[in-house]
Amino acid sequence: MIRWALCAALLLSDLVLVLAPPGDVRAAAAFCLLWVLPGLAWGRAIGGRWVGGLGLGIAVNAILALLLHYVPGPIPFTLAAVLFSLSALLPVLLIRRCVPGSDNPKTIPLPLVLLFLLAVALRLPDLGYSEFQGDEGVIMVRAAAAIEGDDVELFLHQKGPAEILLPMASWCLSGAIDEFWGRLPFAWASILGVMAVAQLCSRWFGGQAPGGWVAGVFMALNGFHVAFGRIIQYQSLVVLMALLALLALDRYRINGRLGNLLLGTVFLTVAALSHYDAILFLPAAAALLFSRFRCSPSPFSFSRLKHLVLAVALGMGMLALFYLPFALSPSFGKTASYLAGDRVGSGLHANFGQAWEMSTVYNSGYYIIFLLLLLTVFLFHAVALRLSDARISDSPRLLAAGLFFLVPLFFYLIVAFDPRTHLYTIYPGAAVLAGAAANALWERSRRPLWRFGLAVGGGGLFVLSAAYVWMVFVDHTPEYQRTFPLHKSAIYWTTYSEMPLYGRFGFPHQAGWRAISALMAQGEITGVYASNEEQEITDWYTRQAPRTHCSTPEVYIVAQNVQDEIAINWSELEQEYSLAGTVMVDAEPRIRWYTRTVGEPVIVNAEGYRQWWRTSEIAPATSGGEHQVDYVLGDRIRLIGYDLDETDAEPGGRIRVTLYWRPLAPLTRNYQVFTHLYDGQMRGQDDGAPECAINPTTRWEPGQVIPDPHWIPIDADALPGRIPLLVGMYDLLTRDRLVTPGAADNAIHLTDVNIRETEG
């Protein structure tokens, strides 16, 4: 019956993908085909492990998306649909009746149903309210570029590719995407992570006691995991895959079945393809694996060694799919340097104050204190177990649980230079230990009155914690983080007076960029723009419209209360531009745009401007400019094209030339660009760092196309006629020009500019 139901659902999803236009219905079909149906089939096929099956469905399709990316050229919809449909069909064909002793319960306990609903309630409501944050914009632009056939985007990302692969797969099938559908797979992974924590704690520390449910509630209410479950980032994937790996390896520890070892390997590998943080969970996994061999009568038998060889081969093969070409790419050295220098640093550190502040920003103080109390209880409980031979069989699990918590704790509090929100790695292990402590308290408090007191006290703290998370991450009336401390609740005390400058993710915010996007699409806002919002956000919402960091843009778009503000020429804006319109969000002005034209400003309400984005609109240009050229400078940089605006090409006027560069390798020096109008005498020039000094060449990534605008003033005494336009690059320290074959004096002759006589 289940087999036919899954086949029918698969067929329906495929029909919707083929027949329905881009929109909610087609996006829902893509979500079901990718992230639900394969997992349900896998869950049944591996013995009713529904959480593990759903996680396996995510893991398999992430790997398939990576393989699709390696197909030359843009990813065809037909190929993606066929491949992902086969991925959902394969486990359906493997379905069999559950074997005795499987994890398939006849009924789902009510506490687990309530836990699932709690996780959903904190992750799905208003999931599409917030506009993309900077990192989300980067991920989605890279996903669009990858779909359109850009081969280098995954290697430019400086971390594992999984957070790009999930929206890439969804986008391939849905045809268009918005914030809600882009984030939903990550929210789904976060919800499954809550259930996996509960399952792991119950398995390790007693299924009948309330510890598993308590651990799950701690995870469901954790502010880091709520926040990261509401945005497009890797954290939910790392945690889910690590938890499922520990569950699978614990089963292997007990029954020695190769399938469980291989499942654990797959989960650990996909965690590592999500982010390097997965390394922190390897000691706990190794402890479970080692305990299996230590307790075996013949730990180094042929069958055991065969299991290890197969698991290592599977894991290394999967990792090599990405990390081998990544290690051979020009971007690898820069990534390694960034991780070693900017993240880990040298020596040891004491990040306790930073960890406390960041933890109490994302969680209420009540939550942290409650968790610390239970961790203290667990410490005494663990010591008691070590002194008692009656529970010595719990030692492997105690060791694994301790490593699951202590290794991330030690690394980010002592080793890492800048932990920020990577503290999220600490809390799954902490939740498991808190659940174990709850079990111990429940067993010792045998009197009904004591248990009632524990339930009421713990329940009250959970309610306070849930209300804080709802206020901070779900409710946006008002937007808590953006208005802090104006709307700070007196119930929740803090030891900080201001929000940290960095590490703020998942907090609701809507500036009105969706309305700006629609107005640009309708032609209401046109021309080269400048903005105080970071480019990772504006590139998405303006659909890669031309932006400048130089003076005298055609439009200024100014957002209010910007988190990572970009400098603009406020003096020029105030003196030379007039207000053209305002975007209102919740009856408050959030974005204003200014032009040189004086007119009656318009007021636009942001509601009703939901937007859908296609990959062709978002992917960055892979070629440059209206005029194609091909010059290589210093074997490091290629000039691939240019645009030229000669509208004001007259004595005393100016021209605008936009150069399009493509770096061929990582650059360690900051090179300056020169643009000269030169006919034996200098008639005009503009020298400086690219993009008006906002984008130095050391930030360039190989394969990117860098638009670099220059406004060249023309001397007032220049004679009418044609003047050569010469461009090139030079080293700021040595003043030496980069060698350019075929260019006299290493100055590229782009074209001749026609200088007209001054009118009037």
Q: Which domains does the chain have, with CATH numbers?
A: 1-107+129-177 (no CATH), 519-609 (no CATH), 627-755 (2.60.40.10)
Give the Cα separation of 176 and 616 in Å (integer). Answer: 10
Q: Which SS3 state, helix, strand or coil, does residue 77 take?
A: helix
pLDDT tens digit string along 345-365?
667 888 999 999 999 999 999
DSSP H or E stretch at residue 688:
strand 682-688
Along the chain (760 residues), what's the average pLDDT of each consecutive run of 10 residues? 85 95 96 96 82 96 96 94 93 62 61 95 96 94 94 86 97 97 98 97 82 95 98 97 96 90 96 96 94 67 84 95 89 69 70 93 96 92 60 72 96 91 97 93 82 88 96 94 90 90 91 96 93 94 91 93 89 95 94 93 92 94 87 94 91 92 89 94 92 88 88 91 95 92 94 84
- Write down the pLDDT at residue 331: 75
The pTM for the full model equals: 0.92
Q: What is the pLDDT of residue 499?
A: 87
Q: How many CB atoms lie within 10 A of CB 495?
A: 9
Q: Looking at residue 385, what is its pLDDT?
A: 60
Helix (H, G, I), strand (E, B) or coil at 338: helix
Sheet holding 706-713, edge to edge: 627-633, 637-645, 654-663, 706-713
pLDDT of residue 297: 61
- pLDDT the model gives residue 444: 80
What local confidence, expressed as pLDDT, does residue 100 receive?
Answer: 37
d(CA 16, CA 29): 6
- The CA-atom distances, in angstroms, between 392 and each of 383, 521, 549, 690 are 11, 67, 65, 65
| Alpha-carbon gap, residue 291 to 16, rounded angstroms | 49
Give the DSSP H or E segment for 124.
none
Asked whether 442 and 451 are in contact (CB, 8 A), the reply is yes
Alpha helix segments (H runs only) across 175-234 = 179-205, 211-221, 223-228
